[in-house]
Chains A and B, each alone.
Chain A
Amino acid sequence: MRGGIPYGSTVLASGTCGSGKTTLAMEFLVRGALAGEACAHFTATEPSVKLLENIRQYAFFDMNMVDTGLINVFDMDVLYSWLGLDKSTFDLDDVHALIKSITDIVNTIGVTRLVIDSVTTLCYKIKSEQLIRDFLFTLGKKLATLGCTTILISEITSATENAHWSSFGVEEAIADGIVVMGDVERMGHLLRFLQVVKMRGTSHSRAKHAIELTPLGVMLTPMLKWGSQTDSANWGA
């Protein structure tokens, strides 16, 4: 991407399990904290303690970022409990309470980089497609107004050519940007890839890039053209 994610954008990071979504999102936050920005991570998939333990792998991470309030991690379960949302299904009022709670936190701390991991887990509690759309649209709009750049992590089961880029099919229409992460299978080995499908407000490559998760962060290189398709198409299997 030429110039990075545009300020105030809501970006959907969709990917299969183990594709590096959380790692990418954590690097987005740590890089922000390094630049002195306040960052927040709402986690619905793993406890905050475990998440923080995983960030320690980065050579550029410093626990001071957490101690000084530059990186703030919130457990969604704690937030639900705090809001009295300990239930399996959310209605319109619950969704509005959740949006208000998230935006209040962003506003109070002055968060400029936010990650919700994952929006899929959160949206499982919202039964109507229309309500999911309203939730994401309103949240994205309010966060953009607050000058907050947001990554919404979405879990998908396949990242191949015919796959959807989101779990519910509505997230992708609302997001300013879509980054897809997955694996290319090459002779029984899985090679991680990242592809920027859409990013409003900036020009960018739409090619698949191979990635490696390293202590210096996510490193990427264009995927070989003769090796970018999964399995049979390339290997005649």
Chain B
Amino acid sequence: MIMFELDQRIAEQLSTISLNSSVQVRCGNSNAFMVTASTMLPLMQMFEMGGVYITASRGAVEIIQAFESIGVDVSNIQFIDLVSSGILGGTDVEYSNIHFVDSPIMLESVLLRTLYILRTTSSARNFVFIDSVNALAIYNEDRMLAEYLHTFINTFRQREVLSIILNVPDQTPPLVLSNLDLYCTDLVDRGQVVIH
């Protein structure tokens, strides 16, 4: 098992929020996984939540294995993988908790798939985690992505599902970033200094 130091202040901050919150989590290139793990672990272990992890940055298998390498079982979390379907043979995986969407541009499909998973899950309290806005921004036009995040956050806020939106601020379009500041109720800032 890899020794890994979590940022405990994130857990403290998360303990103050409610299910209908939407949290913008800012990270840098070098601390992305540490921030992700520091956010996910309290949700899964302290607050005993289930949830959906949407990954546009890396394949879900790689993320599951990264969690396994620090001794974290994520079999209770459902993953929506927007990356692997575009790679030949990328959907032939051994994990049953991975769902595939063809492409990061199928934004509405991601929303509907998430809603479907939440309707079939047994957890009473759930989160949705987007990893990450800057990865989605590679494929989607700024206005559409801003509109999508607005829809996404409000959809889950209404359903009392906690939404966590991960982004690397200096790789996120300014329009999207400023809209996130507006929509999100909370900010966990472990990002880099942004100079636009």
Residues of A at the B interface (CB closer than 8 Å) are 186-187, 189, 191, 210-212, 214, 216, 219-227, 234-235
Contacts and interface: CB of A to CB of B under 8 A. Distances in A.
Given A220-B112, A221-B111, 13 more contacts: A186-B106, A189-B102, A189-B105, A189-B106, A191-B108, A212-B113, A214-B116, A216-B116, A219-B115, A221-B151, A224-B107, A224-B147, A226-B143
Nearest to B152: A221
Nearest to B155: A221
A227 B106 CA distance: 10
B103 A189 contact: yes
Please name the 4 residue pairs, one residue from A and one from B, whose CB atoms are nearest each other, closest first: A210-B108, A226-B144, A212-B112, A226-B143
A216 B109 contact: no
Given A212-B116, A216-B120, A221 B108 contact: yes
Contact of B112 (A186, A221, A225, A235): A221
B141 interface: yes
B148 interface: yes
Question: Looking at chain B, what size class is its interface with the partner chain?
Answer: 20 to 34
Contacts of A222: 151
Contacts of B143: 226
A212 B113 CA distance: 8
Given A216-B119, A222-B151, A227 B109 contact: no
Contacts, number: 54
A219 B112 contact: yes
A19 to B, nearest CB: 14
B102 A226 contact: no
B106 A224 contact: no
Contact of A225 (B106, B139, B147, B155): B147
Main secondary structure of the interface of A (DSSP, over half): strand
Contacts of B144: 224, 226-227
15 contacts: A189-B105, A191-B109, A210-B109, A212-B112, A214-B116, A216-B120, A219-B115, A221-B108, A221-B151, A224-B107, A224-B147, A224-B151, A225-B147, A226-B141, A227-B144
B119 A210 contact: no
A211 B112 CA distance: 8
Nearest to B115: A219
Interface in B89-142: 102-103, 105-109, 111-113, 115-116, 119-120, 139, 141
Contacts of B141: 226-227, 234-235
A224 B116 contact: no
Contacts of A223: 108
B119 A227 contact: no
Interface centre among B120, B139, B144, B155 (most CB of A within 10 A): B144
A235 B143 CA distance: 12
A34 B106 CA distance: 32
Nearest to B113: A212
Nearest to B103: A189
Contacts of B112: 210-212, 214, 219-221
A221 B143 CA distance: 18
A214 B151 CA distance: 21
B108 A224 contact: yes
B105 A187 contact: yes
A216 B118 CA distance: 12
B128 to A, nearest CB: 14
